[in-house]
Every structure is written in C-alpha cells, then in structure tokens.
C-alpha cells in the first residue's frame, strides 16, 4: 500500500518513457509524474496520459503496477496500444 503519493501534470523538457507502457515520448508531451513513498522506498516516475487514465479503470491502484506491465493488459485484450485499451474500457462504461 502506498503511504504517500502525489501526481502532477508536466510538460516534458526531455525525452521520457512511460513507466507503465515503456513507450518513449518526445519533448513537450504532457505526462503525469507520480511520486511518493511505497513500502518505504521513494519513487518518482513518468506516466503517459493513456496509462494514467487506465490506472483507475483497471482497478490496480492498491497493488500497484510494475514497469512495463501496462502492455500485458493491452496484449491480454488483443490490442496494441494503451490508447486502444482506454477506448475499449471507456466505451464499456458508457454503454
């Protein structure tokens, strides 16, 4: 369980890769930075827009999600990108 965490939206000033899907994003992309303490360790990572929206939809907030693990959710749904998974999950909620 996370003891302390916060997130903020930043516009990247260098190339960052998303911690969850491992894709890299160019300078000037809006990404979400999560930081806090988890199990006594300080963490700080960049996350792309699609992955950050997927976290609450996938109900994985408590257990957390490891580096690159978003892609296993994406491929489990026979999709290729987190954006496609987001679209699929959001359309399920609306209908």
* Contact set with Zn ion (CB under 5 A): 18, 20-21, 48, 51
From the CB of 21, what's the least distance to Zn ion, in Å? 3
Return the number of the residue (51 or 78) whose C-beta is nearest Zn ion.
51
DSSP label at residue 2: E
Return the number of the residue (3 or 67) whose C-beta is nearest Zn ion.
67
| 28 vs 12: CA distance, rounded Å | 5
From the CB of 54, what's the least distance to Zn ion, in Å? 8
Return the number of the residue (50 or 95) whose C-beta is nearest Zn ion.
50
From the CB of 49, what's the least distance to Zn ion, in Å? 8
Give CB contacts under 8 A, 24+ apart, made by 43-47.
Answer: 45/19, 46/10, 46/12, 46/16, 46/17, 46/18, 46/19, 47/18, 47/19, 47/20
């Amino acid at each position: 369980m996370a003891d302390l965490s916060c997130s903020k939206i930043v516009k990247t000033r260098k190339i960052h890769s998303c911690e969850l899907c491992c894709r890299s994003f160019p300078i000037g992309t809006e990404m979400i930075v999560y930081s806090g303490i988890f199990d006594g360790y300080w963490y700080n990572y960049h996350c792309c827009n699609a992955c950050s929206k997927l976290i609450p939809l996938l109900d994985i907030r408590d257990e957390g999600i490891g580096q690159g693990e978003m892609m296993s959710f994406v491929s489990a749904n026979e999709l290729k990108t987190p954006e496609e998974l987001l679209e699929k999950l959001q359309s399920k909620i609306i209908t």
